[in-house]
Amino acid sequence: MNLKNTEKLINIMSRLRRPEDGCSWDLKQDFISLIPYTIEEAYEVADAAEREDMDDLRSELGDLLLQVVFYSQMAKEEKLFDFEQVAESICEKLIVRHPHIFADAVFNTDEERAQAWEDAKERERAAKPKVDETASVLDGIAKNLPALVQCEKLQDRAASHGFDWKEPEPVFDKVLEELDEVKEAWQSGDQAHIQEEIGDLLLVAVNLARHLKVNPEIALKESNKKFSGRFQYIEQQVSQSGRVLRDCELDELDKYWDEAKVALKKN
C-alpha cells in the first residue's frame, strides 16, 4: 500500500469537513445520513466483483474506502476514534482470529477453523461492557442486513452454540413440513398467517442451504440470473411473432421456457 495515498485521502476528507471553508454537503453529513451511501457502495463493489470488471472493482473499492475514511473523520472530530484506530482494530482482530497463522494453533478441518473463528468472536463480544442483562448470543448481527443474509448469519451463530441438526436429512423433512403448513395457511385464507408460514419456509430453506454448504444469497442470485435469461428468451420469441406476452396462452409461454432451458444451457 502506498501510505502517502492513504494519508492524502485522510487529509482530503479532513479538508472537506473543515467548518470554515469545507464542502457544504460533506459538512452536513452525520453517522446516520451516511448509511444508505455506505450500503449502496458495498453493493456496487459486489456487482463489480461478480462481473469480474477489475477496473470498475478498483474504482468501487475506492468509493467504499471513502466511506470508512468519512466515518473515521467524523469520529475524530467528536474525539471518539480516528482512521488509525480503525486500522489497528482490524489488525488485532485478524491476528486473534488466525491463531493457526500468527500462533501455534492447528486446525485439521475447515469446521474446526470456522468454530475457532466463532469462538474468537464470542470472546470479543464477552469482553465488551454489558449494557443489557438480556444480552443474547445473537447480539451483534446487523439488523439492516438483507433478510436472506441475516437469516444465514442468525442460524450460523445459533449453530455455533449447538442449536442445529447434525445432518441434512431432518432439514429436508422440516422443509416438507413447512411447505404443508404454507398450504394449510393458504387454504385458511388468512393472509397474515400465510405470510408467517412463507417466512418459516424461507427460513428453513436457508437452513437446508447451510447444511448442503451452499451460500443461499449466491444461489438465489444465480437463479435470478437464470430466470432473467430464460424470460428474455421468451420475450424474444413472442416479439418475433409480432405479439406481446399477454397475447399468449401460458402453455405456449411454458413451451418457450422449456426451449430456453435447452438453448441457454448450450451457450
Structural domain containing residue 188: 144-214
What pLDDT is recorded for position 120?
A: 80
Query: Phi, psi (5° rounding) for residue 53?
Result: -95, 95
pLDDT surpassing 60 at residue 154: yes
Which residue has cell 475514511?
69
- Encode pLDDT of 163-172 as tens digits: 999 999 999 9
**Statement to judge: residues 201 and 227 lie in one domain:** no
How many domains does the structure of the chain reveal?
A: 3
Q: Which of 32, 64, 97 is the last residue of a domain?
A: 97
CATH of the domain at 68: 1.10.287.1080
Regarding predicted confidence, which is higher, 125 or 110? 110
Q: Is residue 62 part of a domain?
A: yes
Extract the C-alpha cell encoding 125: 463480544
Extract the C-alpha cell encoding 64: 467504499
What pLDDT is recorded for position 128?
A: 72
Summarize the confidence of residues 121-128 as an average pLDDT.
75
Contacts of 77 (CB under 8 A, 6+ apart): 17
Regarding predicted confidence, which is higher, 97 or 124? 97
Q: Is residue 117 part of a domain?
A: no
**Statement to judge: residues 193 and 231 lie in one domain:** no
CA distance 80 to 19: 18
Q: Chain-wide mean pLDDT for the chain? A: 91
**Statement to judge: residues 8 and 83 lie in one domain:** yes
- Encode pLDDT of 181-209 as tens digits: 999 999 999 999 999 999 999 999 999 99
Q: Please name which of 150, 119, 122 lies closest in space to residue 136, comparing C-alpha atoms.
A: 122
Q: Is residue 153 part of a domain?
A: yes
pTM of the model: 0.64
| Residue 182 near residue 167 (C-beta atoms within 8 A) | no
CA distance 253 to 265: 18
**Statement to judge: residues 167 and 253 lie in one domain:** no
What pLDDT is recorded for position 267?
A: 54
